[in-house]
């Protein structure tokens, strides 16, 4: 039976921690490295419902994309705020946490390659110099309305915010999660459309003036496709461990 450390090492082989951004807190964050893992729960985020789900499953490990905490904690008590409370609950129930964030964004085969594949496009090159984001090609040109329908369907998002340049869409850029500031690189790379999330109002205005179609397809929905992919990778590497995709965590932002 593999241990927490065995699974953590395998994840690091795929998405080395050295690739993470300076602000990040990826890695093995909670638990005993030698603990055996019969069941592991995978989720984009570690929320209280996800912890409840892990406890009910008897999972010894939660693997997430977003770190369960960023800032250093001065104490770990039931008065340590939401992050401290979650850490305390996990420790009390013997649940470890491994979080792979910006290193999983950047690596080949990670968040952005999976997103590009989900949209039916072929990834060509990174969007940003640090390797984050991807530029790719759809099999054939389509209208913006056709592409919007494809994005909505493939990513399971209930609504999209967008700017339509009025031009056909074939060469696209993507960045899972918050990527509004990279729209200028998408334009420089002569992309027809840029798909990302957490886009600000002035960035929509800039895209309109640049003649670049821009789609905000939700933070969760642009990053979550990597979770099933990770589960498949880990199931192949560790057939004796059951890797379960969370059912308790989904898109946070709803559209009326």
Is residue 239 in a domain? no
Instruction: For residues 10 and 100, state if they share a domain.
Output: yes
Is residue 180 in a domain? yes
Which tens digits make up the pLDDT trace of 188-205? 999 999 999 999 999 999
Residue 64: pLDDT band by 50, 70, 90 thresholds? very high
Instruction: For residues 18 and 46, state if they share a domain.
Output: yes
Instruction: For residues 75 and 100, state if they share a domain.
Output: yes
Instruction: For residues 146 and 197, state if they share a domain.
Output: yes
Is residue 256 in a domain? no
Residue 236: pLDDT band by 50, 70, 90 thresholds? very high
Instruction: For residues 76 and 117, state if they share a domain.
Output: no
DSSP codes joined into one string, the chain: --BHHHHHHHHHHHS-GGGS-TT---EEEES-TT-B-SEEEEESS--HHHHHHHHHHT-SEEEESS-S--SPPS--STTSHHHHHHHHHHHHTT-EEEE--HHHHHSTTSHHHHHHHHTT-EEEEESSTTS-SEEEEEEEEE-HHHHHHHHHHHHT-S--EEE--SS-EEEEEEEEEE-GGGHHHHHHTT-SEEEEES--HHHHHHHHHHT-EEEE--HHHHHTTHHHHHHHHHHHH-TTSEEEE-SS---S----
Per-residue pLDDT, 82:
80
Is residue 241 in a domain? no
Which tens digits make up the pLDDT trace of 27-42? 999 999 999 999 999 9
Residue 24: domain span:
4-104
Total domains present in the chain: 2
Claim: this prediction has a pTM higher than 0.75: yes
């Amino acid at each position: 039976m593999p241990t927490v450390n065995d699974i953590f090492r395998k994840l690091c082989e795929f998405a080395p921690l050295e690739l993470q951004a300076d602000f990040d807190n990826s890695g093995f964050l909670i638990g005993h490295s030698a603990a055996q893992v019969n069941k592991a729960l995978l989720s984009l985020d570690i929320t209280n419902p996800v912890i409840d789900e892990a406890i009910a499953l008897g999972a010894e490990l939660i693997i997430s994309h977003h770190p369960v905490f960023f800032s250093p904690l001065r104490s770990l008590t039931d008065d340590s705020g939401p992050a401290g409370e979650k850490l305390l609950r996990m420790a009390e129930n013997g649940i470890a946490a491994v979080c792979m964030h910006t290193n999983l964004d950047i690596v080949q085969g990670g968040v952005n390659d999976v997103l590009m594949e989900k949209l039916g496009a072929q990834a060509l090159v990174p969007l940003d110099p640090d390797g984050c984001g991807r530029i790719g090609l759809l099999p054939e040109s389509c209208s913006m309305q056709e592409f919007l329908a494809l994005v909505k369907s493939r990513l399971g998002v209930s609504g999209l915010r967008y700017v339509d340049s009025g031009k056909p869409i074939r060469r696209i850029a993507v960045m899972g999660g918050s990527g509004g500031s990279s729209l200028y690189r998408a334009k420089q790379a002569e992309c027809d459309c840029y798909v990302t999330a957490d886009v600000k109002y002035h960035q929509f205005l800039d895209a309109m003036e640049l003649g670049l179609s821009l789609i905000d397809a939700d933070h969760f929905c642009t990053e979550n496709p990597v979770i099933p992919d990770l589960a498949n990778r880990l199931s192949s590497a560790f057939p004796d461990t059951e890797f379960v995709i969370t059912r308790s965590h989904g898109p946070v932002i709803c559209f009326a």
